[in-house]
């Protein structure tokens, strides 16, 4: 089915100048970028985005990492976009990520792991709406 998913290119990958390389992987896999912006996340915005992890021991490190530099937030659209994006990203921990995935190629640790992608239709809908208004999304049909 046609789906939308939220992708974040994290501060480590932006700092490595890997934005184009990563977007290119999405496009080559048949996903279309239908919304895109570079932002510096505030502490509040990052905490709200990751609210479900607020009780986890890594929460503070995660928020401070995500606010350490600009990120590129995108909506990707396409057939099976949520799972396809997760396949392209590879495992959360780059040490476990399959060769050729974004995290295997660009991530350095489970914290600095290059990209985020929604993990299910419900989270995709919530995460897209957290960053983009309807007018900012440009379906390509
Ligand atoms: P992300 O997909 O952005 O969602 C939450 C992030 O927390 C995850 O990627 C990792 O970068 C980070 N993180 C740090 N430690 C852990 C952990 N033990 N388990 C899951 N995520 C972790």
Under the banding of pLDDT at 50, 70 and 90, the label for residue 116 is very high
Side-chain-side CA neighbours of residue 135 (13 Å): 0
- Centre of ligand 1 from the C-alpha of residue 115, in Å: 10
Assembly ipTM: 0.97
Q: What is the 3-state secondary structure (H, E, C) of 77-122?
A: EEECHHHHHHHHHCCCCHHHCCCCCHHHHHCCCCCCCCEEECCCHH
| pLDDT score of 140 | 84
Give the residue-averaged pLDDT of 118-139.
Answer: 97
Q: What is the pTM of this model?
A: 0.98
Q: Which atom of ligand 1 is nearest to the CA of 53?
A: 5
Centroid of ligand 1 to alpha carbon of 84 (angstroms): 19
Q: Supply the pLDDT for residue 5.
A: 98
End-to-end CA distance of the chain: 14
CB 19 within 8 A of CB 9: yes
pLDDT at 141 over 80: no
User: What is the number of the ligand 1 atom nearest to the C-alpha of 113?
Assistant: 11
């Amino acid at each position: 089915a046609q789906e939308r998913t939220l992708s974040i290119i994290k501060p480590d990958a932006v700092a490595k100048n890997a934005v184009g390389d990563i977007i290119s992987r999405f496009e080559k896999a048949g996903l279309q970028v239908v919304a895109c912006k570079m932002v510096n996340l505030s502490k509040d915005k990052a905490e709200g985005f990751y609210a479900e992890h607020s009780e986890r021991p890594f929460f503070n490190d995660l928020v401070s990492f995500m606010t350490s530099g600009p990120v590129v937030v995108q909506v990707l659209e396409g057939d099976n976009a949520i799972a396809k994006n997760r396949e392209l990203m590879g495992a959360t921990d780059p040490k476990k990520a399959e060769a050729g995935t974004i995290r295997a190629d660009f991530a350095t640790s489970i914290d600095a792991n290059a990209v985020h992608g929604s993990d299910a239709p419900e989270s995709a809908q919530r995460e897209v709406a957290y960053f983009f208004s309807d007018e900012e999304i440009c379906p390509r049909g």
